Amino acid sequence: MRHTYRLNIACPDRVGIVAAVSQFLAQYGGWIVEANHHSDVSTNWFFMRQEIAADSVTVSLAELREKFALLAAEFNMEWTLLDAAVRKRVILMVSREAHCLTNLLYRWRSSEMYFDLACVISNHDDLRSYVEWHKVPFYHIPVTPERKPAAFAEIRRLFEDHAVDSIVLARYMQILPPDLCADFSGKIINIHHSFLPSFVGAKPYHQAAQRGVKLIGATCHYVTEELDAGPIIEQDVVRISHSHSIDDMIRLGADVETLVLAKGLRYHLEDRVLIHGNKTIVFSQ
Amino acid sequence: MRHTYRLNIACPDRVGIVAAVSQFLAQYGGWIVEANHHSDVSTNWFFMRQEIAADSVTVSLAELREKFALLAAEFNMEWTLLDAAVRKRVILMVSREAHCLTNLLYRWRSSEMYFDLACVISNHDDLRSYVEWHKVPFYHIPVTPERKPAAFAEIRRLFEDHAVDSIVLARYMQILPPDLCADFSGKIINIHHSFLPSFVGAKPYHQAAQRGVKLIGATCHYVTEELDAGPIIEQDVVRISHSHSIDDMIRLGADVETLVLAKGLRYHLEDRVLIHGNKTIVFSQ
Amino acid sequence: MRHTYRLNIACPDRVGIVAAVSQFLAQYGGWIVEANHHSDVSTNWFFMRQEIAADSVTVSLAELREKFALLAAEFNMEWTLLDAAVRKRVILMVSREAHCLTNLLYRWRSSEMYFDLACVISNHDDLRSYVEWHKVPFYHIPVTPERKPAAFAEIRRLFEDHAVDSIVLARYMQILPPDLCADFSGKIINIHHSFLPSFVGAKPYHQAAQRGVKLIGATCHYVTEELDAGPIIEQDVVRISHSHSIDDMIRLGADVETLVLAKGLRYHLEDRVLIHGNKTIVFSQ
Amino acid sequence: MRHTYRLNIACPDRVGIVAAVSQFLAQYGGWIVEANHHSDVSTNWFFMRQEIAADSVTVSLAELREKFALLAAEFNMEWTLLDAAVRKRVILMVSREAHCLTNLLYRWRSSEMYFDLACVISNHDDLRSYVEWHKVPFYHIPVTPERKPAAFAEIRRLFEDHAVDSIVLARYMQILPPDLCADFSGKIINIHHSFLPSFVGAKPYHQAAQRGVKLIGATCHYVTEELDAGPIIEQDVVRISHSHSIDDMIRLGADVETLVLAKGLRYHLEDRVLIHGNKTIVFSQ
């Protein structure tokens, strides 16, 4: 894999942004290997992601950042300029269902996806041995009604101690308290087992069976304080019929959940997702 | 196309239904060319559809019906035994958008789908010439707030005069009055331009854009008194991204609407749909 | 719809292309409303498509082209700079099957797709009345073995007289002679009723049934001298099972053909397709 | 999960088969929980799968089999009557790529799929530790050109010693010798990483990139002596574009391979697949 830097920009739209940025990059030898733009017409906001071959740049990343800050100020840009070789630190949170966890651990250990796995947190102890075989720390933090505050204080400490960039609720099945959602805004990714906004909350497959829909789905989204209402990163569906029981739906849905979460997380880890209000711009390939 | 009879059955589930029915058919030489069963576990109800080669049956259809009535009584069956060669009589209702109409008229005139087209009803006059080229009567019945009762009385008269089996709202964009919905229950098919139950009511693509979903869809369903809440026959979706404007969504969605309506209507015309409460059993191939 | 210019570029890859082009555009006030890049690593070739708001450009299109030629020479660019408001001239060619034709005529008459429809050519007279209702000239040019050369001479004359940019084989079912393919290279679009490279040539659905595949498809591609081997623009598939007869496959496949051809043609008409050897870069939204 | 028996039948088509079989089942109290039929028109052959609630049957399975043999003889049926509670014995064969293996081991250990896993065989030792964590025997049998006969003799011995019903080539990457294919006909399932019949043999993703297709796929099929030409059980595809490198295609394809193999294997394990010449009837739900 080529070593790259990733430059992400969001700013008010106007003529000359692309020219200024690409001229800036060319000035330092920057070879652009992937580029994406988007103009949001309703808000007149401009978004850009550039992936630049690191070895083509004639100055250090620190210096490039310093120089770019001047340009960014001129255009009122929110921006990041990240080294793709610096892996994001991730915590996985699970309950008892292992399909998403098994899949993400596979992608991690085979380097199919690049991230540092700080630890796995679960409200049950069931998956300890499987996780520990991977030499990944496993924390069992039960979340009972009475010890909820203590549990989430402990969880927060783990987030902070591990200095994580990203928390993945891989079918965690517990609702995070509002302060955690707020303090880690844009960093917590959830997989919800329905095609949102249909079937918010508990037992979405039962709700789907009740309504008699012909497709069921899954939604990967950023967690916000409002349940299942955060910016959507990725969704997909699978066809069902009257012949499928709720158990069949849970089974078929699990495969969709697994892929949608992996896809959404990959976009996030590769800095392909820009949050804009309650929506996302996803510069997927 | 082979000439067939279609036997549809719904009754309380118990041992021996299939045996009794298939023995009955065999007794009259009935060659089963397609057979489908379904047991609804939650209600303990049984559903069956048999397609029988007409030329294999040794008695007339009338006699077969008469005989079958005795068996049906024994098992408390709701049932129909229809001649597939007798085409259903259909009315299409449209507004200004022609994508569904154009597609259904093509399927009708090319015999890709079998039905008698009684007439087209529209609240606008725009599509008259196109419909009339097909030698199909076109009724322009404006639906303004003040003349709504008169308009729907006229529409009801057309339903009755044409003795129609099926009414298709091919993007009709007007809400039918409750009495029409009730009196033609199970006969009126609508295409809604969202993946229900998401985005009920007006401007679903605008609602979808607002929520930032990554797939948009369409739903073909039977019309009931509650808006967009009737039994779902068929649904499908198409992928969108941040780069698609609402106009793009309307354009991409139109192709999904067209196919979902055609598919749902085909199932209906071929007696493949059995309504069970607010759900459907669709014995698709 | 916004009035735009479309700048397409292909050239050897190197640092500074994007900078030079975007600086050039910015210099003349060019507001980029959509931008796409691609670097082909195996050939080290660079591709770019820019859509520019016409009213933002401070010089005439002719002048912009003149100035750009200098820049283009410096980078050894193949390029086009087209006015999106100038519609492409299109000829549709059909045989007896009307599904693709009906769909494209709908898109054309409803302005769902923008092009000038010069005429329809067919080797059968069946579709004359339908086409002529649209006030589009219809040419019936039979293609029998003995009069093939005469027929294709006549067809070539129509291509030339109408000064067409694009010829669409909308299930034309005749093989064009090599000289036509060569002289209109990159301008003739075909829909083949299989998922190429499987099932080249005649009766692909029969071939698919023979092999027992579980999905059937359609392929939209540029026509080259080698049958069904030209650059692919778009493909899609639909699921089938053992229960589908060849007639069912033809029917289900027709819907895929219709959509794949419409999608491929739209990309072509919007200058989103760049041909690179025997492949395409498709800058779809 | 309900305890069931599965009755599969293939025989020359004629009137009265369904009647005879369902009457037979009713006679012994057999409650049919799922039923599927298929008439192959081209060969005039009839296929049937019945799933019967075990606790509804008034005689033992042995007795039911004995009685059914008489009926079967009358109709010249090939048939099986299996106890769904008796798990099939399976051997997984892998090379170095672990995506299919990881997924199938997950489905096995979570009882998402029901089978006895006899062992895993690999031509490399890489996956030993992961497999052994699952307490599943792992055999490393290198397949070098010179020791090929010895290796496959050893593999055959494992097939026989473990009395396996099914062998799954979960990206095994070695071609089995003709005698193994013949002796275990209908029992060996392979996943090929292309949408067959396109791109038979080695490096299908490279072949796909070469041809410039817009979808790539995977095919689950029974292994026969002719390479990648056996009866197809299941296929699926995923969309790609010019922007995807071969590495991207391998990555995206791996998810399709994983799901297609799991789906195909499930159909096989649930006795839903009937082989008919070089095709399959798959009575999927």
- Closest by CA to D240, choosing from A166, B149, C235, B278, is C235
Looking at residue A55, the DSSP 8-state letter turns out to be G
Q: Pick from D25, D59, D83: which residue ends a domain?
A: D83
* Residue owning tokens 């570029």: C9
Query: What is the predicted pLDDT for the residue at A1?
Result: 73
Query: What is the predicted pLDDT for the residue at C1?
Result: 73
Model confidence at D1: pLDDT above 80: no
Asked if the C-beta of B273 comes within 8 angstroms of chain A's C-beta atoms, the answer is: no
Listed in sequence order, the residues at least 6 apart from D169 whose beta carbon sits closer than 8 Å to its beta carbon are: D93, D176, D188, D189, D190, D191, D223
State whether B69 and B112 are in the same domain: no
Confidence of residue D285 (pLDDT cuts 50, 70, 90): confident
For chain A, give the percent of residues with pLDDT over 90: 94
Name the amino acid, one letter, at B6. R
State whether A61 and A109 are in the same domain: no
Asked if the C-beta of C112 comes within 8 angstroms of chain B's C-beta atoms, the answer is: yes
Average pLDDT of every residue of chain A: 96
For residues A158 and A149, give the distance between their C-alpha atoms in angstroms, rounded to a whole number: 14
User: For chain C, which ranges sit under pLDDT 50?
Assistant: none
Radius of gyration of chain C (CA): 21
Model confidence at D275: pLDDT above 80: yes
**Backbone dihedral angles phi then psi of residue A151, each to the nearest 5 degrees:** -60, -45
Task: Output the domain CATH number for residue A29.
Answer: 3.30.70.260
Model confidence at B118: pLDDT above 80: yes
Q: What is the DSSP string of chain C?
A: ---EEEEEEEEE--TTHHHHHHHHHHHTT-EEEEEEEEEETTTTEEEEEEEEEGGG-SS-HHHHHHHHHHHHHHTT-EEEEEETTSPPEEEEEE-S--HHHHHHHHHHHTTSS--EEEEEEESSSTTHHHHHHTT--EEE----TTTHHHHHHHHHHHHHHTT-SEEEESS--SPPPHHHHHHTTTTEEEEESS-TTSS-SS-HHHHHHHHT-SEEEEEEEE--SSTT-S-EEEEEEEE--TT--HHHHHHHHHHHHHHHHHHHHHHHHTT-EEEETTEEEE---
For residues B282 and B280, give the distance between their C-alpha atoms in angstroms, rounded to a whole number: 6
Contacts with D99 from chain A: Cβ below 8 Å: 106, 110, 112
State whether A68 and A108 are in the same domain: no
Query: What is the predicted pLDDT for the residue at C56?
Result: 94
Contacts with D198 from chain C: Cβ below 8 Å: 195-198
State whether D145 and D230 are in the same domain: yes
Which ipTM was obtained for this model? Answer: 0.96
For residues C76 and D190, give the distance between their C-alpha atoms in angstroms, rounded to a whole number: 49
Indicate if C126 belongs to the active site.
Answer: no
Torsion angle of the four alpha carbons A244, A246, A247, A249, in this order, in degrees rounded to the nearest 10:
60
Query: What is the predicted pLDDT for the residue at B15?
Result: 87
Please say whether the beta carbons of B240 and B227 come within 8 A.
no
Query: What is the predicted pLDDT for the residue at A113?
Result: 97
Asked if the C-beta of A280 comes within 8 angstroms of chain B's C-beta atoms, the answer is: yes
Looking at residue D175, the DSSP 8-state letter turns out to be P
State whether A135 and A66 are in the same domain: no
Please say whether the beta carbons of C143 and C155 come within 8 A.
no
* Residue owning tokens 């297609």: D260
State whether B227 and B276 are in the same domain: yes
Q: What is the DSSP string of B82-105?
A: EETTSPPEEEEEE-S--HHHHHHH
- Closest by CA to D87, choosing from D124, D113, D121, D126, is D113
Give the range of the structural domain holding residue C161, as residue numbers without chain letter.
89-282
Preceding amide of D204 cis, omega within 30: no
Query: What is the predicted pLDDT for the residue at C73?
Result: 97
For residues C19 and C99, give the distance between their C-alpha atoms in angstroms, rounded to a whole number: 46
State whether C99 and C202 are in the same domain: yes
Question: Closest-CA residue in chain A for C21?
Answer: A19
Query: What is the predicted pLDDT for the residue at C112?
Result: 96
State whether B165 and B31 are in the same domain: no
Asked if the C-beta of A241 comes within 8 angstroms of chain D's C-beta atoms, the answer is: yes
* Residue owning tokens 């649930």: D270
Element (H, E) at B279: strand B279-282
State whether C94 and C31 are in the same domain: no
**The token pair that represents A202 in the structure block:** 């508990």
Q: Name the E strands within chain D.
A: 4-12, 31-40, 45-53, 78-83, 89-94, 116-122, 138-140, 166-169, 188-192, 215-222, 232-239, 273-276, 279-282
- Gap from C238 CA to chain D (nearest CA, Å): 10
State whether D76 and D210 are in the same domain: no
Contact D285 A248 (CB under 8 A): yes
Give the active site residue among B228, B236, B247, B271.
B228
Q: Which residues pair with B35 in a beta bridge?
A: B50
CB nearest to C99's CB, from B99, B106, B285: B106
Please say whether the beta carbons of A190 and A167 come within 8 A.
no
CB nearest to C251's CB, from B34, B103, B112: B112
| Chain B contact partners (≥3 CB pairs within 8 A) | A, C, D
Model confidence at A120: pLDDT above 80: yes
Integer CA distances (angstroms), A9 to A69, A272, B189, in order = 12, 11, 48
Preceding amide of A197 cis, omega within 30: yes
Contacts with D27 from chain B: Cβ below 8 Å: 19
Contact C254 B110 (CB under 8 A): no
* Residue owning tokens 């499928």: A244
Average pLDDT of every residue of chain B: 96
Q: What is the pLDDT of residues D142-180, one digit of tens each?
A: 999 999 999 999 999 999 999 999 999 999 999 999 999
Average pLDDT of every residue of chain D: 96
CB nearest to D32's CB, from B18, B29, B34: B18
Q: What is the pLDDT of residues D216-244, one digit of tens each?
A: 999 999 999 999 999 999 999 999 999 99
- Closest by CA to A103, choosing from A240, A229, A261, is A261
Confidence of residue D15 (pLDDT cuts 50, 70, 90): confident
- 33-52 in chain C: CB under 8 A from chain A: 33-35, 37, 39
Total of domains in chain C: 2
Under DSSP, is residue B130 helix (H, G, I), strand (E, B) or coil?
helix
Mean pLDDT of A170-184: 96
Q: What is the pLDDT of residues A141-170, one digit of tens each?
A: 999 999 999 999 999 999 999 999 999 999
Query: What is the predicted pLDDT for the residue at B285?
Result: 79
Asked if the C-beta of D104 comes within 8 angstroms of chain A's C-beta atoms, the answer is: no
Q: What is the pLDDT of residues D18-30, one digit of tens each?
A: 989 989 999 999 9
State whether D168 and D129 are in the same domain: yes
Query: What is the predicted pLDDT for the residue at C12?
Result: 97
Query: What is the predicted pLDDT for the residue at D43?
Result: 94
Q: What is the pLDDT of residues D98-153, one digit of tens each?
A: 999 999 999 999 999 999 999 999 999 999 999 999 999 999 999 999 999 999 99
Element (H, E) at B192: strand B188-192
- 173-232 in chain B: CB under 8 A from chain D: none
Q: Pick from C62, C83, C104: which residue ends a domain?
A: C83
Question: Closest-CA residue in chain B for C239?
Answer: B285
| Chain C contact partners (≥3 CB pairs within 8 A) | A, B, D
Element (H, E) at B49: strand B45-53
CA C119 vs. chain centroid, Å, equals 17
**The token pair that represents D243 in the structure block:** 């922007």
Task: Output the domain CATH number for residue C177.
Answer: 3.40.50.170
Q: Pick from D51, D83, D115: which residue ends a domain?
A: D83
Contact A232 B213 (CB under 8 A): yes
Model confidence at A93: pLDDT above 90: yes
Query: What is the predicted pLDDT for the residue at D145?
Result: 92
State whether D16 and D118 are in the same domain: no
- Closest by CA to A18, choosing from A42, A6, A35, A41, is A35
Q: What is the pLDDT of residues B3-58, one digit of tens each?
A: 999 999 999 999 889 989 989 999 999 999 899 999 998 899 999 999 999 999 99
Q: What is the pLDDT of residues D29-88, one digit of tens each?
A: 999 989 999 999 889 999 999 999 999 999 999 999 999 999 999 999 999 999 999 999
Torsion angle of the four alpha carbons C208, C213, C215, C218, in this order, in degrees rounded to the nearest 10:
-30
Query: What is the predicted pLDDT for the residue at A15?
Result: 87
Mutation target vs D (from B1, B21, B23; most D CBs, 10 A cutoff): B23
Give the active site residue among D40, D55, D183, D228.
D228
